[in-house]
């Protein structure tokens, strides 16, 4: 688990290798990640967009961006937590992700970026 706070918004990431859905012999490795977004500020905020940087250990680099997360643009009141789970496919058994969320303070419509801390995607067999 890794966490980081940016402008009063705490992002926590938990990852898991999905061996049942991975096919190493076909260079297909599936990882899931659970994100907890905690609003520790005194203002209500809304998540508008996401931008991911995905690195595979073979040198491949991808970027993914779009509106919201898992089809949602959640509004978080002070001290509220929003949680979701998503997945990432890699062609190797080790990689990493990081990114940013674009958010807006509801009270004054000020937009700001919240960093998603870099996290590793490692199949358990690589650790042996």
Question: How many other CB atoms are found less than 10 A from the CB of residue 72?
Answer: 11
Residue 128 scores a pLDDT above 80? no
β partners of residue 37: 11, 82
In angstroms, rounded to a whole number, what is the distance separating the alpha carbons of residues 85 and 126?
A: 23
Judged against a pLDDT cut of 90, whether residue 70 lies above it is answered with yes
- Segments making up each domain of the chain, as ranges: 2-127
pLDDT tens readout for residues 27-41: 999 999 999 999 999
Q: For the segment 78-102, what is each residue's pLDDT rounded down to a tens digit?
A: 999 999 999 999 999 999 999 999 9
Per CATH, the homologous superfamily of domain 2-127 is: ApaG domain (2.60.40.1470)
């Amino acid at each position: 688990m890794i966490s980081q706070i940016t402008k009063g918004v705490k992002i926590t990431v938990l990852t898991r290798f999905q061996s049942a859905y991975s096919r190493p012999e076909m260079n297909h490795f599936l990882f899931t990640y659970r994100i907890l977004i905690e609003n520790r500020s005194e203002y209500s905020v809304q998540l508008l967009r996401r931008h991911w940087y995905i690195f595979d250990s073979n040198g491949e680099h991808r970027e993914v961006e779009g509106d919201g997360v898992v089809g949602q643009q959640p509004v978080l009141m002070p001290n509220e937590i929003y949680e979701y789970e998503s997945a990432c496919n890699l062609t190797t058994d080790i990689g990493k992700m990081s990114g940013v969320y674009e958010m807006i303070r509801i009270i004054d419509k000020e937009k700001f970026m919240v960093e998603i801390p870099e996290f590793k995607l490692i199949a358990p067999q690589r650790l042996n």
